[in-house]
Amino acid sequence: MKLNDKQIQILKVAEKLFSENGFDGTSVRNIAKAADINVAMISYYFGSKEKLLGALLLHRTSDFRLLAESVLAKNTSHLDRLDALVILVIKRIHSNRRIYKIIYSEFSNPSRNSDFENYKKQKLKNYKIIEDFVRSGQEAGVFTKNVEISLIYPTIFGTYFHFYYNKPFYAAIHNLSEDFSLDEFVHKVLTPHLQKTIKALLTYEI
Amino acid sequence: MKLNDKQIQILKVAEKLFSENGFDGTSVRNIAKAADINVAMISYYFGSKEKLLGALLLHRTSDFRLLAESVLAKNTSHLDRLDALVILVIKRIHSNRRIYKIIYSEFSNPSRNSDFENYKKQKLKNYKIIEDFVRSGQEAGVFTKNVEISLIYPTIFGTYFHFYYNKPFYAAIHNLSEDFSLDEFVHKVLTPHLQKTIKALLTYEI
DNA sequence: TGTTAAATTAAACAAACGTTTAATTTAAAC
DNA sequence: GTTTAAATTAAACGTTTGTTTAATTTAACA
């Protein structure tokens, strides 16, 4: 599906509003006003509000898989590659956080079951990659055996999003101003925490 | 605020629908129909839809703090108390998962800033409890020093919710049927994973 | 410059929204 | 049994919702 500049502009605005106010909390008139276009343009270009969401997901969920594979194919130690993978995953989540927030909100919504098939397939492929990597590390004797591999991604994703959702709360804990640099916190605090957590998990005896 | 049976019945239905379809995705008519009452009863009893949400949060968020303090005051090792705390936290999240999902969805919604003051205060108190406990463990030489304490709760909460939000996906990974026992998975897989993760994090050298 | 298709608009649509009204039923108190 | 307040109802309120219509403007091409 080819998108022109105007369509991309609409998607950008929709992404912002959906992630801030939810799908149901955002009206097509909100989007039209923020994008400075006529309401009818949304139906004209995308057909419906639901299809707009579908187009948005399709437009954003490009391939994480290739990046992960190239990181894990490097000729460094398992622990170094694990560190690099955690960095990659968090970078990915962080730059696409708005989209992921929408997916989180709408994925479990029974009335919006469709449009998520691509997302599911992609997620399964990504799981297989980390599963293979961890098993190779276990065979090499670097990682311990008794690890619930399927819960590694949830630990990374979940920690990021719980922090992100409760940002003002954690800003208060760290005595940061309300408009503290999210990028810096993610880079300097959250990423090392998760690198350490996952490494610890995979090397912890009993 | 005293609530009669009918009000509690309405809150129960509202909790279910809010957590399934979101606040904006649930109409007062949806609630009325599911609770088998007249629409006007919601305004009659609670004043408005927003105040219904407020009443729901107030009705559910009772004191986790006392439970946590009694667990941590036990005369066992730091690692044992840590295990017990993780169990308590997950039990708490699990039994209140619907409410937490609503809080997650609405807490970051700028148009719903109010009604969350109690939640914030409670969260800060809970943080202080685990902070004191970890510091005492560090002074006793059981836990390592270089730990981002503020990210321990997010790791537990986040992992649970990422799993919970993507339940069908993880059911597929584990070759479980669609109606597999969530309770059992949380108890037998998720809890040990998080116990291990947090223990590993707090004892991991460098 | 005239033709044609795409882009854009204001207006209208029916349906659904949260809330209020005013009338009626229920149930408790005296 | 009468009184009184609470509970419950159907109907209507004015908005807002997503979408469509039909008319107009824009822009590209011959």
Summarize pLDDT for B175-203 with one digit per residue, the tens. Answer: 776 666 788 889 998 999 999 999 999 99
pLDDT at residue B106 greater than cutoff 90: no
CB contact under 8 A, B21 and A109: yes
Residue with tokens 């969530």: B182
pLDDT for A125 equals 85
Percentage of chain B modeled with pLDDT above 90: 51
Q: Compute CA A79 distance to the chain's CA centroid, rounded to the nearest angstrom.
A: 23
Answer whether B161 sits within 8 Å of A159, measured CB to CB: no
User: Residue A100 has what pLDDT?
Assistant: 82
pLDDT of A175 > 80? The answer is no
* Integer CA distances (angstroms), B99 to B50, B71, B130, B152, in order: 15, 23, 22, 21
CB-CB neighbours of B23 under 10 Å: 22
Q: Which A residues 41-60 have CB within 7 Å of strand D?
A: 42-44, 47-50
Task: Note the strand D nucleotides within 7 A of protein beta carbons.
Answer: 7-12, 16-22
**Chain A: nearest CA to B26, how far in angstroms?**
9
* Predicted pLDDT at A3: 79
Q: Which of A93, A98, A91, A109 lies closest to A14 in space, CA to CA?
A: A98
Distances (CA, A) of B22 to A104, A143, B1: 12, 41, 25
At a CB cut-off of 8 Å and minimum separation 6, what does B73 contact? none
Distance from CA of A106 to the nearest CA of B (A): 9
Q: How confident is the model at residue B126 (pLDDT cuts 50, 70, 90)?
A: confident
Residue B96 has pLDDT above 80, yes or no: yes
CB pair distance less than 8 Å for B124 and A200: no
Could you say which of A25, A150, A197 has the minimum Cβ distance to residue B173? A150
Q: How many angstroms away from the CA of B3 is the closest CA of chain A? A: 29
Say whether A123 and B166 touch across the interface (CB within 8 A). Answer: yes
CA distance A12 to chain B (A): 19
Average pLDDT of the segment spanning B85-91: 94
Q: Quick one: CA torsion of B68, A164, B155, B188, rounded to 10 degrees?
A: 90
Q: Which of A36-45, A91-100, A193-202, B54-63 has the least mean pLDDT?
A: B54-63
**DSSP-based helix, strand, coil % in chain A, nearest 5:** 75, 0, 25
Query: Considering chain A, what percentage of its residues have pLDDT values greater than 90?
Result: 50
List the nucleotides on chain C closer than 7 A to a protein CB: 7-12, 16-22
Q: CB-CB: which of B107, B161, B169 is closest to A158?
A: B161
Residues 147-206 of A with CB under 7 A from strand D: none
Amino acid residing at B91: K
A180 pLDDT more than 90: no
As a whole number, the mean pLDDT across chain A is: 86
Nucleotide nearest A47, from its CA to each C1': D19
Residue B168: per-residue pLDDT: 77
Provide, as residue numbers in chain A, all residues whose Cβ is less than 8 Å from the Cβ of B190: 151
**Looking at the predicted structure, is the pLDDT value of residue B206 above 80?**
no
Amino acid identity, residue B151? L
* B153 touches B126 (CB < 8 A): yes
Residue A168 has pLDDT above 80, yes or no: no
pLDDT recorded at residue B14: 94
Strand D proximal residues, B:22-41, Cβ < 7 Å: 37-41
User: B172, A124: Cβ pair inside 8 Å?
Assistant: yes
| Residue pair B202/B82 in contact by the 8 Å Cβ criterion | yes
Rg (CA), chain A: 19
pLDDT confidence of residue A61: 66
Residue B118 has pLDDT above 70, yes or no: no
With CA atoms as reference, the chain B residue closest to A171 would be: B150
